[in-house]
Amino acid sequence: MTGLGHLALAHVHGAARPRGSLTDVGVDLPTLGEVFDVMTLRAGHNAAVVVAGTTMLGIAAGVVGVFALLRRRSLMGDALAHATLPGVAGAFLVAMWIGLDARSMPLLLAGAAVAGVIGAASVQGIVRFSRIREDAAIGIVLSVFFGLGVVMLSYIQRLDGGAQGGLSRFIFGQTAAMSRENALLMAGVAACAVAAALLLFKQFRLVCFDADYARSLGWSVGGIDLLMMALVVLVTVAGLQAVGMLLVVALLIIPPAAARFWTDRLWLMTAASAAIGGLSGHLGASASALAPRLPTGAVIVLAAGVIFLFSMTFAPARGLAPRALRHLKLRAQVGREHALRALYELAEPQGTDEAGATVGDVYGARQWSEGSARSALRGLRSRGLIEMRNGEAALTERGAEAARRVTRNHRLWEEYLVRYADVAPSHVDRSADMVEHALSPELIAELESALREEGRLPRSVHPIGRGGGDAQGGKR
C-alpha cells in the first residue's frame, strides 16, 4: 500500500523520498506542486491509473448505493463483501488444482462474484423460508461466509510455498498494486453497474418508494430486488482490491447518505451521490499517493467520511447548521409576533393602536424574561414596526397592521378550537400561540368561512390585557 505514494513522488522529483527506518511513522508534508501533479493525474502512470480507477469505483458505488439505501438494503453490501472471501479463496484453489494462474485477477474476481451471488441468495432464502428477520439473516451470512473464508485462507497458507498468494490484500485492499489491466477491469465493471442502474432507474425508483404499487402494476418486486443486489455484488467485487472487503461497504453507504442531506429529488440525489463517491475515491487515492505510509483504502473511506460530516453540518436542505439557523430565525419571528400581539392587546382596552407599553408590560403580559422582551422589541424596532417614546414601545402604522393580523389569526384559531374541538376556553391560548404563526391565507379563509356561517367571527375567548376582554366573543 506504500508503493503508490513512492512511485508518484518519484515521478515528481526524479527519485523517491527516502523511506527512513522501519520505526519511522512520520508523514512528510507534500509541496503544492506535488499536490497539483497528483490531483491532475500527472504524477506518473501508476498513480494516475489508481486515482482514475478509484474515482470510477466511487462513482459506481455512489449510484448503486442510492437504491440500496432507499430500499433499506445498505447492510446487504456488508454481507456480500464478507461473502466474497471464500469465493476468492475457492477460485485460487480451483485455479491451482487445474494448473491455471492462481493469482489471475479476473479469475479471483469471478470467484468473488459467484460467492457474492450465493451470499445474496442465502440472505433472501433465509428471510423467505423462515421467520428470521433480514438483519439477523445478514448477520448469519456475513459471519458464516467470512469464517469459511478465513478457514480456507488458513488452508492455503499451509500449502507448498507457505503463502496465501496475496489473497490477504482482498481483506484490507492493496490499491498500490493495481495494474492497468486491473484498473480497466474495475472501471468496466463499474461502468456496467452504472449503466444498468440508469437503464432500470424507473423500476428501481418505483420499488424503492412504493413496492406495493409496483406489484399492482405487474412488476416483479423480488426480481427487481435481485437485480439491485446483483449491481451491489458487481460494485463490491470491483472494489475489493481498492479498499478491501471490510471497507467497500462504506462506499455504498456514505456517498448516498451524504447526498440525502442536499436534496429530496431522486435524480439529483443519485447525481450528488455519484459525485461524492467519485470525489472520495479521487481525494483518498491522491492523499495516499502524497502520504505513502497511509493505507489507500482507509484514506478513501476517511475522505468519504469527511464529506459526509460536511454535508450533515452545512447542507442547505437538511444540514444541522442551516436547520439550527432556521430554527433560531423562526423562534425570533414567533417572539416578535407574540410581542406585536401583546402590544396590540395592551392598547386595545384604550381604543387605540398607538398607546405605548413599557418593557415590563410586555414581558408581564407574555410571562417572559426581561431579556426576551427586550430582544423581541429590538427586532420590531429594527423593522420599523414599533417606535420608542419616553421609554415606551408604540406600534407604528405598519406595526399596527401586522399586530391586527397576528391577533386576528390567534383569535380565529381560539374560536375554532372552542367551537369545533371542544377545548375549554382556558386551555386554548397556548395551542393558538403555537399554531397561529403557521396559518396560511387559505386556511385562514376556511376558518373565517366556517365561523361566519355561525355568526361568530371572534373577538376573544379569554380576558386579555389590562382592561380584560369579552370572554364569549362577538361579531366583528
DSSP string, 286-311: HHHHHSTTS-HHHHHHHHHHHHHHHH
The architecture in CATH of the region 326-453 reads Orthogonal Bundle (1.10)
Model pLDDT, residue 367: 73
Whether the pLDDT of residue 458 is over 70: the answer is no
pLDDT above 70: percentage of residues in the chain? 76
Angle at 234 between CA 230 and CA 238, to 5 degrees: 165
Model pLDDT, residue 276: 94
More confident residue, 337 or 314: 314
Model pLDDT, residue 394: 83
- For residues 430 and 415, the answer to whether their CB atoms sit within 8 Å is no
Backbone phi, psi, residue 386, to 5°: -140, 165
pLDDT mean over 93-116: 81
pLDDT mean over 265-285: 90
Instruction: Give the CA-trace dihedral at 367, 369, 371, 376, to 10 degrees.
Output: -20
Q: Coil, helix or strand for 473?
A: coil
More confident residue, 63 or 105: 63
Whether the pLDDT of residue 465 is over 50: the answer is no
| Site of grid cell 430565525 | 329
Model pLDDT, residue 322: 92
Q: Coil, helix or strand for 392?
A: strand
Model pLDDT, residue 11: 45
Whether the pLDDT of residue 98 is over 90: the answer is no
Model pLDDT, residue 174: 65
More confident residue, 404 or 178: 404
pLDDT mean over 269-278: 92
- For residues 288 and 294, the answer to whether their CB atoms sit within 8 Å is yes
Confidence grade of residue 166 (pLDDT, cut at 50, 70, 90) = low
- HEC string of 143-190 equals HHHHHHHHHHHHHHHCCCCCCCCCCCHHHHCCHHHCCHHHHHHHHHHH
pLDDT mean over 343-369: 74
More confident residue, 213 or 474: 213
**Any idea where the domains of the chain sit in the sequence?**
3-16+29-317, 326-453
* 23 class by beta-carbon count within 10 Å (0-12 exposed, 13-18 middle, 19+ buried): exposed
Model pLDDT, residue 457: 52
Please state, in angstroms and as integers, the Cα–Cα distance from residue 419 to each residue in 258, 310, 416, 426, 433, following that order.
Answer: 47, 49, 5, 13, 17
Give CATH superfamily name and number for 3-16+29-317. Answer: ABC transporter involved in vitamin B12 uptake, BtuC (1.10.3470.10)
| Site of grid cell 512520520 | 26
Query: Looking only at Cα atoms, what is the longest distance across the chain?
Result: 103
**Torsion over CA: 360, 365, 367, 372 (sign):** negative
Please state, in angstroms and as integers, the Cα–Cα distance from residue 452 to each residue in 11, 202, 257, 475, following that order.
Answer: 83, 49, 50, 9
C-alpha–C-alpha distance, residues 271 and 310, integer Å:
18
Model pLDDT, residue 82: 80
Residue 102 β-bridge partners: none
Confidence grade of residue 277 (pLDDT, cut at 50, 70, 90) = very high
